[in-house]
Amino acid sequence: MKKLFKFSVGILIVGLILTAVGFWGHGARNVSFDGLKPVITKKVNENLLTNQHFDRLDLNVDSANVTIKSGRKFKVSYRGVSMTQPKALITDQLLTVKQTRTVAGVFWDNSATVDDITITVPKGTKLAGTIKATSGDVTVDGVDLSGVTIDARDGDVDLRNLTVEGGKAQLESGDFTSRNVTFRGNYFVKNSDGDNEAVDAHVDGYFLKSATGDNEVNGADHDSGEQQANANAANCLHLTSEDGDNTIKNLQAVE
């Protein structure tokens, strides 16, 4: 009981220190820890890399949302807390981005800990490699992927307007969504607690499996278990969820 009391008092003291630092910094400011030192949190908007060609990814980010999109030139940018700004480098056309620091403290602004990594590539670029996100969302819009592995622990995965050649997505509590995606080869989505949905997909077969959720095909509910059609096709989408639902709508054959 004494240990619990001492721990509670310690937490209270830390909170009071952070609050005091925030107010002394000219008003209610966001405060976090740099080691044991409380510091006022600063927001940054930085270009990490510009005009350097790459076609492979090795992303390992802790808190940031990741967005991959097409644009005029190669660029990697970061918007968020300075303490969690990632490191980015390119070696032999491999883009490596690593973000390993987290922020804890007192935040008066709810958006203070929201951070984003945006990767832009010229139209027509095809990317391979791995994307690992611990708590942020992963969005890919208009950039083709080849054999990419996406590992998202607590965030969502959203694919839009692109072609996927093989690969897989693994999620724990987030949702997987695809819109207007062409799936070539076998693509596997494995989810624990989230939902999986594919709308306007170009694919020749599908395999759906849910332990406790529903499998819905074009508005028709097939309850839990397995649902499939032409599952041995060369171009097949596999959606699996333990507790979530699988939904597919308006599938079309691959041309």
The 10 Å CB-count burial string (b at 16+, else e) for 38-74 is bbebeeeeeebbeeeebebbebbbbbbbbbbebeeeb
State the pLDDT at residue 41: 61
Residue 241, domain member (yes or no): yes
Residue 10, domain member (yes or no): no
Residue 131, domain member (yes or no): yes
Token pair listed for 249 = 């709508």
Residue 148, domain member (yes or no): yes
154: left (phi over 0), alpha (psi -120 to 50) or beta: alpha
Q: Is the pLDDT of residue 240 over 50?
A: yes
pLDDT in tens, 99-149: 976 554 444 344 455 799 999 999 999 999 999 999 999 999 999 999 999
Residue 150, domain member (yes or no): yes
State the pLDDT at residue 103: 52
Residue 47 maps to which CATH number?
2.160.20
State the pLDDT at residue 23: 45
Token pair listed for 128 = 């391979």
Residue 240, domain member (yes or no): yes
Q: Is the pLDDT of residue 32 over 60?
A: no
pLDDT confidence tier of residue 253, bands split at 50, 70 and 90? very high
Nearest partner of 56 among 88, 25, 87, 92, judged by Cα: 92
**What is the average pLDDT score of the chain?**
85
Nearest partner of 196 among 216, 176, 224, judged by Cα: 176
Residue 7, domain member (yes or no): no
pTM of the model: 0.82
How many residues appear in the chain?
A: 255
Mean pLDDT, rounded, for 40-68: 91
Q: Is the pLDDT of residue 200 over 80?
A: yes
pLDDT confidence tier of residue 16, bands split at 50, 70 and 90? very low
Mean pLDDT, rounded, for 163-181: 97
* 187 vs 12, residue with greater confidence: 187
Nearest partner of 150 among 161, 162, 163, 140, judged by Cα: 140
pLDDT in tens, 48-60: 999 999 999 999 9
Mean pLDDT, rounded, for 66-75: 97
Residue 96, domain member (yes or no): yes
Q: Is the pLDDT of residue 6 over 50?
A: no
> For tokens 């639902």, what's the residue?
245
Mean pLDDT, rounded, for 76-89: 92
How many domains is the chain partitioned into structurally?
1
Q: Which residues pair with residue 138 across a beta bridge?
A: 66, 157
Q: Which domain holds residue 46?
A: 42-249
